[in-house]
Chains A and B, each alone.
Chain A
Amino acid sequence: MQALHALPDPEALAQSVSEQDFSAVAKALNLLDDRRPDARQRAARLLAALPKQRLHNAGHLVGLTGPPGVGKSSLTAALVRVWRKRGLTVGILAVDPSSPISGGALLGDRLRMLSGGLDASVFIRSLACRGEFGGLSAEVWPMSLVMLAAFDIVLVETVGVGQKEIDVSKLTDTTCFVAQPASGDSIQFLKAGIMEVPHVLVVNKADVGIAARKTLSELRATLQPPSHAEDWRVPALAASATTGTGIEALADSLEAHRIWLVAHGLLAPVRQRFQAEWIIKRLLEEFGRFGIEMLGGQPRLLSSLVEAEGPPFEQYDTLRQRLLGRWRD
């Protein structure tokens, strides 16, 4: 039997997405999630039809990560309030772990993120990371692009401790790490160089007082001053989603990093790199390190992909065919 619900026309969908039509954004995200061959082709067309100029130079992709229970959702809610007050539209991708046994997942922090109110200008999609423990599913990056085409700010929220959470830095312009007061873990990771340094560090729950101030000063001590004057200087802030203190400053710091990227001509190249990272991630999933080695190794592949500037699905398919071709011989 034929499926009752036909797949959408990708070019028309891309147009509606860029007009901030929520229903279109939802349909586009469904399409990117859809693994059927016909859907994959349409998804490639959809991405190709999104406005290039926006995807390279406009909006702001923000990654928010940190250990479970640190209050990311309520911090998100507080940030959303500030952004909305500044007249910005917001799209959120909230990533939660799924059960490795059943494949099922419980999702649902939407209301925490909206602090109970209904805001027609905030769009939230929850995602299960589908078995990729601690990492982000391959769907996240293309989904963030669709949202970038529709909203001023796209926030990707992920859970993580230690090294893996920084996966989000491979698809967002600005990565913000949320630390727990009185928890030494993040500081240890930073010191040991296990964790890549995020662009903004924030200690949440500043309302708890001494513990938060102590963690903050430890974090500040860990951060190396930049070697060049024009390098980004990582700010470490204290904020409280409960009392609302420090949230404006946090929003300012995130924005400052975007301005810094633009001023140094880095925004478009950084985003170009996300695409390359995504292609490599998918190739790694499918062919492993061996496959990447056969394509010349990760560093070389990365730079050639960045230079080539093709549409993502096509680039991926070309490389995939090249590998499959070798095995077929």
Chain B
Amino acid sequence: MNSDSKSEKRDRPWLMRTYSGHTSARASNNLYRTNLSKGQTGLSVAFDLPTQTGYDADHPLSRGEVGKVGVPIGHIGDMETLFDQIPLDKMNTSMTINATAAWLLSLYIAVAERQGVAPAQLQGTTQNDIIKEYLSRGTYIFPPEPSVRLTTDVISYTVHHIPKWNPTNVCSYHLQEAGATPTQELAYALSTAIAILDAIRDAGRLDGDAFANVVGRTSFFVNAGIRFVEECCKMRAFVEMWDRIARERYGVEDPKLRRFRYGVQVNSLGLTEAQPENNVQRIVLEMLAVTLSRKARARAVQLPAWNEALGLPRPWDQQWALRMQQVLALETDLLEYGDIFDGSPIIDSKVRDLVLGAEAEMQRVQEEGGMVHAVETGYVKRQLVASHTARMRAIEAGDLKIIGVNCFTETAESPLTSGTDSGIMKVDAAAELDQVERLKAIRDSRNPAEAKAALNQLGEAARSGENIMPASIRCAHAGVTTGEWSKELRTIFGEYRAPTGIDISAHSLGRSDVVETLRQRTRKTGEELGRPLRILVGKPGLDGHSNGAEQIAVKARDVGFEVVYEGIRLTPEQIVKAAEEEGVHLIGLSVLSGSHLELVEDALGRLADLGLSEVPVIVGGIVPLEDEQDLLAQGVAAVYTPKDSDMNKIMSDLVNIIRENNGLQRFEDAA
């Protein structure tokens, strides 16, 4: 190196955020102000599932979900409370919002206007990437075509009116959670960005300069996993590929507008329930992947708390996560140097491999007709399910080591989880009722004529192709609710169900002799009971994290079950009706949003009403021990949490639960 790398200007610290929000706008506002006083430099708003999927708190699908995984925002009153005493002209706010992004941004703009802040001064990000919702996160509402149109409406609006806003944050984060390899993450995220930018370019409403600004405002949201050297190379590959796409595909001349700007949440999928204190070092190592290389350094970092696999983190857990960032950025010498990897042949060669692999897969996506079409046909989802299955198989075989899970499992009792609160926070059950009360209050207090007129204008815009934003901002001021805004668009655009991607060919997990034993047992039990064993795997509620349910469904099919699987977002009523009509021997319910108690109780009650109490129910999800005992007491046959990673054991259990339920002798454990 001929230059003195230390003479370069010290890099500015990245934005430090914590993805948070819960219970109510008031409780979340308190949390935000506390976090900011502790040195957090930006906000990252987590919305609850009804807000993300466009339902009011009093809709049947919202039951048990209000305030659980984030803050409920039902109308402008909630949004005002959320940012009470937080000046929006000074804040940089990231909102994890997709299907209803245009709406939440409209509420944010309306609150700014009420605070006397001009929209042009606002800074922040709306995630606004619907493609990955179809593939992984599951909070989509509308079919792909109108969804992409809403995305591009937000982009075209902000580029003119809120120039410092990042209108879309193309996500590779959730692709990794759904099983994507680094190559797939690169390929599908960049293909998504291309699909959106092509749509804007082809709409032809922006001139060259404005379009270059749109390219420049396109930002990304990535995941950093535990293989941190490869992950660091992935980030360098992103930088290189995005620069080339912006230049060659979109003719952007200004190198500043070709920069790969990204935020990060490090991997939550890899966090373990077993020996959860180990998650601290995982999180720190993962943070290194996105900060070490100056060229490919994150603009904003949010770290999960060590106990996310157990339940909702407490303020102290979030503070710990923030301190990790502060130590790295402010105590260490990291920010004093230029890029410490430049010139490394090993890094260069790894980056090259990733770029070539990703380009080949992007080509494949183009052959499928582009990203939107490749999602609609299920191509991408099938690739992801296959990768995820391969990962599960490697964990099960011990090829992929997870400390405390498939090796070094002995542990002393942890003082961290033995406190009176079991080391997690619980959402007050009364929060849902309060939210419904506030909703009623605004419906009663607003000017009904203006609310109706605003909604009519929204419908007009949706039908005519006019930008959705001005009408949405009017709705925000008029006291329209999240459910009403979404309902208006639902009736015009329709609703969508994404391919589940589980129609992939049989590929058994784990040891083949065990699988063969399980197949024989399934077949034998089916013969003894007169017909093949049938199970229903259902995801009640609004939670869209379907990977667990899908893995169970595929595995059960592979050991010989006939599996009824319907994808996400079902009411307990729909699940119970399906269980009856399909004549299943067992029902599996998967809930990851923390609403398991309410949803399972509801399902059990409905089964009893139909005289189907004899059908055994099992539950999978992030279920704290205390709740597990509660569920078992209610009559649930078994509860599985992330620590139950042995799929063969679960399958063996399913057969035995069905056998016992029908008065047959149990088999011995197969594994």
The finding on whether chains A and B are genuine partners in a shared complex, rather than unrelated, reads: yes
Binding site for B on A (CB under 8 A): 1-5, 22-23, 25-27, 29-30, 33-36, 39, 69, 98-99, 101-108, 110-112, 115-116, 118, 120, 123-126, 128, 130
Proximity string of chain B (238-268) to chain A, C-beta cutoff 8 Å, 1 when within and 0 when not: 0000000000000000000000000000000
User: Can you list the 3 inter-chain pairs with the closest CB atoms, starting with the nearest?
Assistant: A34-B530, A104-B557, A36-B530
What distance in Å separates the Cβ of B574 from its nearest Cβ neighbour in chain A? 5
* Residues 530-583 (chain B) with a chain A CB within 8 angstroms: 530-532, 553-554, 556-567, 570-571, 573-574, 577-578, 580-583
Cβ-based interface call for B610 (8 A): yes
Q: Are B553 and A130 in contact (CB under 8 A)?
A: no
What distance in Å separates the Cβ of B520 from its nearest Cβ neighbour in chain A? 10
Chain B residues whose CB sits within 8 angstroms of the CB of A99 once the complex forms: 506, 557-558
Other contacts beyond A30-B531, A34-B530, A105-B563: 8, CB < 8 A: A33-B583, A102-B560, A103-B519, A104-B557, A104-B563, A125-B582, A126-B564, A128-B532
What distance in Å separates the Cβ of A244 from its nearest Cβ neighbour in chain B? 10
Cβ-based interface call for B394 (8 A): no
**Contact A35 to B581, CB < 8 A, known contacts A105-B563, A106-B554:** no
Q: Are A23 and B610 in contact (CB under 8 A)?
A: yes
Specify which of A104, A128, A130 is in contact with B559 (CB 8 Å cutoff): A104
**Contact A3 to B663, CB < 8 A, known contacts A33-B531, A103-B532, A111-B566:** yes
Q: Are A108 and B564 in contact (CB under 8 A)?
A: yes
Cβ-based interface call for B664 (8 A): yes
Q: Are A4 and B557 in contact (CB under 8 A)?
A: no
Cβ-based interface call for B500 (8 A): yes
Chain B residues whose CB sits within 8 angstroms of the CB of A2 once the complex forms: 663
- Docked Cα-Cα span, A259 to B662, in Å, equals 47
Q: Are B573 and A1 in contact (CB under 8 A)?
A: no
**Contact A106 to B663, CB < 8 A, known contacts A4-B614, A111-B566:** no
Interface size of B in residues (CB-CB distance below 8 Å): 48
Cβ-based interface call for B665 (8 A): yes
Binding site for A on B (CB under 8 A): 377, 495, 497, 500, 502-503, 506, 508, 519, 522-523, 527, 529-532, 553-554, 556-567, 570-571, 573-574, 577-578, 580-583, 610-611, 614, 661-665
Chain A residues whose CB sits within 8 angstroms of the CB of B529 once the complex forms: 3
What distance in Å separates the Cβ of A37 from its nearest Cβ neighbour in chain B? 9
Which A residue sits closest to B516, measured CB to CB? A102
Chain A residues whose CB sits within 8 angstroms of the CB of B564 once the complex forms: 107-108, 110, 126
Chain B residues whose CB sits within 8 angstroms of the CB of A124 once the complex forms: 578, 581-582
Specify which of B497, B557, B581 is in contact with A102 (CB 8 Å cutoff): B557
A-B contact list, 25 entries, CB within 8 Å: A1-B663, A3-B662, A5-B614, A22-B580, A23-B580, A30-B531, A36-B530, A39-B530, A103-B522, A103-B523, A104-B558, A104-B559, A104-B561, A104-B562, A108-B500, A108-B566, A111-B567, A118-B571, A118-B574, A118-B577, A124-B578, A124-B582, A125-B582, A128-B532, A128-B562
Which B residue sits closest to A69, measured CB to CB? B377
What distance in Å separates the Cβ of A219 from its nearest Cβ neighbour in chain B? 24
- Docked Cα-Cα span, A89 to B180, in Å, equals 44
Specify which of B530, B553, B566, B573 is in contact with A35 (CB 8 Å cutoff): B530
What distance in Å separates the Cβ of A94 from its nearest Cβ neighbour in chain B? 10
Which B residue sits closest to A38, measured CB to CB? B530
Chain B residues whose CB sits within 8 angstroms of the CB of A125 once the complex forms: 581-583
- Docked Cα-Cα span, A137 to B251, in Å, equals 58
Q: Are A106 and B530 in contact (CB under 8 A)?
A: no
Which A residue sits closest to B145, measured CB to CB? A242
Q: Are A101 and B664 in contact (CB under 8 A)?
A: no
Q: Are B665 and A1 in contact (CB under 8 A)?
A: yes
Chain A residues whose CB sits within 8 angstroms of the CB of B578 once the complex forms: 110, 124
What distance in Å separates the Cβ of A178 from its nearest Cβ neighbour in chain B? 17
Which A residue sits closest to B579, measured CB to CB? A26
Which B residue sits closest to A104, measured CB to CB? B557
Chain A residues whose CB sits within 8 angstroms of the CB of B562 once the complex forms: 98, 104-105, 107, 128
Which B residue sits closest to A35, measured CB to CB? B530
Chain B residues whose CB sits within 8 angstroms of the CB of A25 once the complex forms: 581
**Contact A26 to B583, CB < 8 A, known contacts A102-B519, A104-B561, A106-B565:** yes
- Docked Cα-Cα span, A286 to B581, in Å, equals 30
**Number of inter-chain CB pairs below 8 Å:** 117
Which B residue sits closest to A244, measured CB to CB? B494
For B377, B557, B561, B611, which residue has the most chain A Cβ atoms within 10 angstroms? B557
Which B residue sits closest to A74, measured CB to CB? B497
- Docked Cα-Cα span, A126 to B566, in Å, equals 12
**Contact A33 to B530, CB < 8 A, known contacts A4-B614, A104-B562, A112-B497:** yes
What distance in Å separates the Cβ of A27 from its nearest Cβ neighbour in chain B? 8
What distance in Å separates the Cβ of B607 from its nearest Cβ neighbour in chain A? 12
What distance in Å separates the Cβ of B197 from its nearest Cβ neighbour in chain A? 25
What distance in Å separates the Cβ of B458 from its nearest Cβ neighbour in chain A? 22
Which A residue sits closest to B505, measured CB to CB? A99
Chain A residues whose CB sits within 8 angstroms of the CB of B495 once the complex forms: 115-116
What distance in Å separates the Cβ of B175 from its nearest Cβ neighbour in chain A? 23
- Docked Cα-Cα span, A189 to B595, in Å, equals 52
What distance in Å separates the Cβ of B333 from its nearest Cβ neighbour in chain A? 54
- Docked Cα-Cα span, A29 to B571, in Å, equals 24
Q: Are A35 and B531 in contact (CB under 8 A)?
A: yes
Chain A residues whose CB sits within 8 angstroms of the CB of B570 once the complex forms: 111
- Docked Cα-Cα span, A255 to B553, in Å, equals 38
Chain B residues whose CB sits within 8 angstroms of the CB of A102 once the complex forms: 506, 508, 519, 557-560
- Docked Cα-Cα span, A110 to B574, in Å, equals 10
**Contact A105 to B557, CB < 8 A, known contacts A4-B662, A124-B581:** yes
Chain B residues whose CB sits within 8 angstroms of the CB of A111 once the complex forms: 497, 566-567, 570, 574
Chain B residues whose CB sits within 8 angstroms of the CB of A118 once the complex forms: 571, 573-574, 577
- Docked Cα-Cα span, A168 to B107, in Å, equals 54
Chain B residues whose CB sits within 8 angstroms of the CB of A107 once the complex forms: 562-565, 582
**Contact A106 to B581, CB < 8 A, known contacts A1-B664, A116-B495:** no
**Contact A34 to B661, CB < 8 A, known contacts A23-B580, A107-B582:** no
Chain A residues whose CB sits within 8 angstroms of the CB of B567 once the complex forms: 108, 111
Chain B residues whose CB sits within 8 angstroms of the CB of A3 once the complex forms: 529, 662-664
- Docked Cα-Cα span, A118 to B567, in Å, equals 15
- Docked Cα-Cα span, A23 to B560, in Å, equals 26
Chain A residues whose CB sits within 8 angstroms of the CB of B503 once the complex forms: 106
Chain A residues whose CB sits within 8 angstroms of the CB of B519 once the complex forms: 102-103
Which B residue sits closest to A243, measured CB to CB? B494
- Docked Cα-Cα span, A115 to B494, in Å, equals 10
Q: Are B665 and A110 in contact (CB under 8 A)?
A: no
What distance in Å separates the Cβ of B603 from its nearest Cβ neighbour in chain A? 14
Specify which of A26, A33, A116, A130 is in contact with B497 (CB 8 Å cutoff): A116
**Contact A106 to B502, CB < 8 A, known contacts A30-B583, A35-B530, A118-B573:** yes
- Docked Cα-Cα span, A26 to B553, in Å, equals 22
- Docked Cα-Cα span, A20 to B508, in Å, equals 41
What distance in Å separates the Cβ of B437 from its nearest Cβ neighbour in chain A? 28
- Docked Cα-Cα span, A112 to B377, in Å, equals 14
Chain B residues whose CB sits within 8 angstroms of the CB of A27 once the complex forms: 583
- Docked Cα-Cα span, A112 to B498, in Å, equals 10
Q: Are B662 and A5 in contact (CB under 8 A)?
A: yes
- Docked Cα-Cα span, A103 to B522, in Å, equals 9
- Docked Cα-Cα span, A23 to B577, in Å, equals 9
